[in-house]
Structures are given as structure tokens and as C-alpha cells.
Amino acid sequence: MSQGVRRAGAGQGAAAAVHLLVTLSFLRSVVEAQVTGVLDDCLCDIDSIDNFNTYKIFPKIKKLQERDYFRYYKVNLKRPCPFWAEDGHCSIKDCHVEPCPESKIPVGIKAGHSNKYLKMANNTKELEDCEQANKLGAINSTLSNQSKEAFIDWARYDDSRDHFCELDDERSPAAQYVDLLLNPERYTGYKGTSAWRVWNSIYEENCFKPRSVYRPLNPLAPSRGEDDGESFYTWLEGLCLEKRVFYKLISGLHASINLHLCTNYLLEETWGKPSWGPNIKEFKRRFDPVETKGEGPRRLKNLYFLYLIELRALSKVAPYFERSIVDLYTGNAEEDADTKTLLLNIFQDTKSFPMHFDEKSMFAGDKKGAKSLKEEFRLHFKNISRIMDCVGCDKCRLWGKLQTQGLGTALKILFSEKEIQKLPENSPSKGFQLTRQEIVALLNAFGRLSTSIRDLQNFKVLLQHSSF
């Protein structure tokens, strides 16, 4: 090869490298410029959320997710799709979910729905298996007969009318415990028609979209003509607050999931050993203002909005867990006490946040109309939770169900303020309750949002220092 050709090749390579650096620098500056300022429909700015999450929430919520009470989640991944015959499959083996052997589940958790979260009898030697644990029951032996009767009523109380989600039946033989730490959410290769159909059903059929609005809410759908999206957002701003909030919650959840996939991407696999890490190209494809026609920054802002909603729910539900009767029971007394202390510490932090979303601004009009709208809101979200059973990838289904249930639990909390305020200190309540499944989903879902915001900061740094 001649020196001239080599010089030309080197010059082209250098030019390409410079072009890539300029592109990455431009992307970082655009993302930072557009994902900033005060969020719509609330009085909170993004920088405040970033700082609060980085220094107060993220380190603690990450630690909480590692505790036994919160790492084991019981889920039914075999429920059939109620809307269509699912034929989608993951393209790589990492879609598989490995259930947790019964022998690995802490005995207090295996006691199942009968224990909710109360202390069990102290004689743990008798708790050799799940059946024996259920026979012993889950009521603290110091409770009065009246309290025991209240507990039985509480256990039977059907609060399905308050649920925003379709809950799995934990007694079903198909329901299995999953160790969330051993089955992390990450890119699985699940895409194409099957994935598109799930998101399309969520956006097009459940986000209060009238037929007259031609721009699809689903960001994965093909664009329609030259519409830059402004007409759609003009329409969105004309909606009532409740319907705007609904769309932002779904969009924020979608953005959060996409961030997790970009952060834990299969970069390469050598001799059967996968290498996972952040994928800048994938991040750009999903969030770059140019490639997404301005949608990317809006999606990321909706992620922050969703974070605020779940943060508010945690601050509101704190009194429920502050009661002495509540014990996050696994059978390890020392760890259980530490877990509750850590959880209460997180609640204190959430209550200290100065710019909470005001949920009282929702469903605040005419009582009859507000009640009807709230029920419509609940049923739409409940329908989305059912769509999660149509996801063709087991790992995607696991994390989709958990995060949807976590958000549904947060909504249940936000609209149960009066019931929470009336909770008795030393006895169970049948007016408001949370199952262990809801508690685990709530905290893990918020942990995923906290991680997403942390990951977004990391991507900004990667874009700034990328040299490839």
C-alpha cells in the first residue's frame, strides 16, 4: 500500500473519529439542555430530583433490595394472555427466568399469604417447611383474641375494588418464587412484532386516545407523515390533568425500562461468557432528540414525573409501616429489625423531599364525575397489568409485572389517604392493607426508577468522555 493511500486512510479515520466525538458531544449537550428545568403538572425541577436521588435515595434503596424480604418475589409467569395467542420468543437464552428452590426461601416468607408481614410464633424449630409454617399461622402470640379475630377478618377482606392491578394468585401451583438479584432486568433480544403488539395495545387502547388523534402514542409505531409531534402534544395539553398523568406514567415506565436495557446490554459473548454493559448506540437510538424526532427528552422527563408519583406514594404510606404491629418477617429476627429500620429511614427521606406532587389536584371536581373518572383510570391501568401476561419473554414479563404492580400499588396508596390515616396502631386494619407481594413490588419498582435516574447520569458522563 502506498504512503499516499495510507495517509488518505488515516485521514479518513481521524475525520470519522472527530465526527463521532462531535456527535457524542452534541448528543450529550442536547440531552442535558432538554432534560432539565421544571416538570409539567408539578412544581419540581429535574436537578433537585437528581441530587435527592443520588445522595439520599439510591444508596439506601439499593441496599434494601438486597434484603431477603425484598429480593424474593412470587409470580406466575405461566398465566395465558387474555387478549391474543402469544407467539413471541426471546432471541437469546438470557430471557429465561430461574425460579428459586423452596429450600432457599426464608421460612417466614414461605408461610405465604397467611402471614402478611406480622411476627410468627417464636418456636422457629417447628417451622421446617411451608405446610407447618401455615399451620402455626402468623399472628404474634401476644395479640388479644379480639385482635386475632380482626386479623382473620382482615385476611379475608376482599379489597379488589381498590386494586389498580390484576394480582397473581399466590396459591396457584404455577406461582413460583423468583430471586430478583439472580434474575436482573436487562436486554434479552425480545423485540419485533410480539413486543410491538404489547406496547401498541398499552398506548393505543388504554391511554384515553380518541380515534380523531392520528399520531400514535406508541413511540415504536411507524411515524405518520411529516407530523413532528407538536399537534399531538397540543392535543395532550388539552386533556384533563388525570388523563395527562396517565399517559405520562406509562411513557415514564416505558422510558425507565428502555434505560435498564441500554445499561445492561449484551455487548459480546466469548466462549459462552456474556459481557454486559452500557450501550451508547442503543441509548442514542431510543433517546436522541434527532433520531426520535424530539420524543427522547420528553420520555425522559416522563421518567422523572413517574419517579415523583412513586416517591409521593412512599411518603404517604409511611404511617402504615411505622406501626409497632408491622414486622417484615423472614424468620431472621436481627435482619428483620435491620430491614424495617432501613425502610423507615427511606420513608423519612421521602417525607423530607420539599417538592412533592400534589395528588389532591386529581379527581377534585364534581364528586360524581370525579368518582367515575377515577374508576375509569383504575380500570384502564388494571387492564395494562393484564397485558403483562402477553409478554412473550419470561424475564421481560417478570419485570414488567413487578414494575406495573409497583406503580399500581403506588396509585392505590395515593388514593387511600383517608383509610391510611385511620389505621389502628396495635391491631390489623381491614380498611387498608397491603399484601407482601404488593410491598415487594412497590419498593422494587421504585428502586428500578431510582436506578434509571442514576443510569441516565452515567450515560451523560459516558457521552462526555467517549473516545470511540
Indicate which residues carry an active-site annotation.
393, 396
Residue 163, annotated ligand binder? no
Residue 199, annotated ligand binder? yes
Residue 254, annotated ligand binder? yes
Residue 188, annotated ligand binder? yes
Give the number of other Cβ atoms within 10 Å of residue 79's Cβ: 19
Give the number of other Cβ atoms within 10 Å of residue 267's Cβ: 12
Which residues, other chains included, contact 253 with Cβ-Cβ below 8 Å and sequence gap of 6+? 306, 403, 404, 407
Residue 84, annotated ligand binder? no
Alpha carbons within 13 angstroms on the beta-carbon side of residue 11 total 6
> Measured between alpha carbons, how far is 407 from 123 in angstroms, rounded to an integer?
37
> Measured between alpha carbons, how far is 458 from 187 in angstroms, rounded to an integer?
18
List, as residue ranges, the binding site for FAD: 186, 188, 199, 251, 254, 286
Residue positions forming the annotated binding site: 186, 188, 199, 251, 254, 286
